[in-house]
Structure 1
């Protein structure tokens, strides 16, 4: 093995399917490690008035707290093992070429501290109303799987919808405005199999020396 790992990032609004595509790429690439933005972000811990103030000040992405994320991305890119902060255990690159790491992210290259490690950025261009519908179904699907979870999920859903118009939707609009232009590949809403079929040739083109080793 030689040279740094190739980092493939998938970005899109919540509900766009970025996690599903990242996991599909992981399976297709023989278990490539996944670094998850959600395991590091702390902005969802902010009270609503702090988020509102951040939006009023132009939503500076450099202020989004992501403790440890840049450090872990840099280490993994060098071939070092890092803690899997989303699922537990350890993230490490496979022994075989091509050495690829996956990054499930909301901010793509728009966040300077972590975007510098991205070699290929895929943006899932899903309309916000479709993404919202998918997000809501994630709440209802969980409640249907476990009826005992219904009341807490209803409370969480009410809180999510209560923040959506004034805080969340403006944030997602800013995300699209700033992250999408930096993407190497923009994919419209489509079934997962179609997204994967479009992403793999882009990956092969982006790293031609390893193209023969990327499964189709």
Structure 2
């Protein structure tokens, strides 16, 4: 247990399908006395049109992350050693950045991330739905992924190769945490 100290907060960032949730779960299992919060478990108020938001400069503070912040603050008062966040914004949101001790960007090639996302999100979908999603990605959605590579990746403390196995990614992150 973390005797009298605040829990160490690790944020796992990356593109959709990049492995954030898988790595966050892996770290939570590996780290002693930890809890994990997942971005996708929340329904945040944010931009209605993500591509328009990206095109006008992607101001991450336009997202109202109050529910997540409240949950982080609650966990900070618990006798934990670690809090792991599945959180795509790294340090780019001014309110959450103050609560994070380390950000990790899982650098997964976009083709692999998209393939994972289709496998995950379109298991029961028709071929037509998948094709529409692919057309949307090519015509617009890819800009959102590129925004993450342009701003979130360089804003992270460490970048880990997303093509590595889950255990190797976990080893690299664990090594950094252990040295802090």
**TM-score class, shorter:** 0.7 to 0.9
1:102-181 paired onto structure 2 within 5 Å: 102-139=84-121, 143=123, 149-151=124-126, 157-158=130-131, 160-181=133-154
**Cα shift readout 1:129-186 (whole Å, capped 9, x = no counterpart):** 221122122245xx3xxxxx444xx575455334323442211211221111222221
Q: 1:36: which partner in 2?
A: 38
Could you say what secondary structure the match of 2:106 adopts?
strand
**Helix, strand or coil at the partner of 2:34:** coil
Q: Which residue of the partner structure matches residue 18 of structure 1?
A: 20
Which secondary structure state, in structure 2, belongs to the residue aligned with residue 16 of structure 1?
A: coil
**What's the CA shift for 1:38?**
1.4
Change (3 A) 1:131 1:44: farther
Q: How does 1:52-91 map to 2 (within 5 A)?
A: 52-79=51-78
Looking at structure 2, the residues matched to 108 and 115 of structure 1 have their Cα atoms a distance apart, in angstroms, of 7
When structure 1 is superposed on structure 2, of 195-204 and 31-40 the one drifting more is 31-40
Contact kept, 8 Å, 2:46 with 2:62, in 1: the verdict is no
Name structure 2 gaps, 5 residues minimum: none
TM-aligned CA distance change 1:180 to 1:41, over 3 Å = farther
Which residue is 1:201 aligned to?
175
1:6 aligns with 2:5: no
CA contact (8 A) 1:11 1:104 kept: yes
Relative to the length of structure 1, the TM-score reads 0.72
Query: SS of 2:6's equivalent?
Result: coil
Query: Which has the higher relative contact order, 1 or 2, with Cα contacts under 8 A spaced 6 or more apart?
Result: 2
CA distance in 2, matches of 1:115, 1:166: 32
Question: In 1, Cα distance between the equivalents of 2:90 and 2:44?
Answer: 17
TM-score, length-normalised on structure 2?
Answer: 0.85
Residues in 2 aligned to 1:33 and 1:155: alpha-carbon distance in whole angstroms: 39
**Alpha-carbon offset, residue 27 of structure 1:** 1.0
Structure 1 residues 155, 63: CA separation in 2 closer, same or farther (over 3 Å shift)?
farther
Q: 1:150 to 1:55 in 2, by over 3 A?
A: closer
On the 8 A contact 2:10/2:84 being kept in 1, the answer is: yes
CA shift in 2, pair 1:31/1:2, >3 Å: closer
Which blocks of at least 5 consecutive residues in structure 1 are unaligned? 80-92, 144-148, 207-216
Deviation at 1:110, TM superposition (A): 1.0
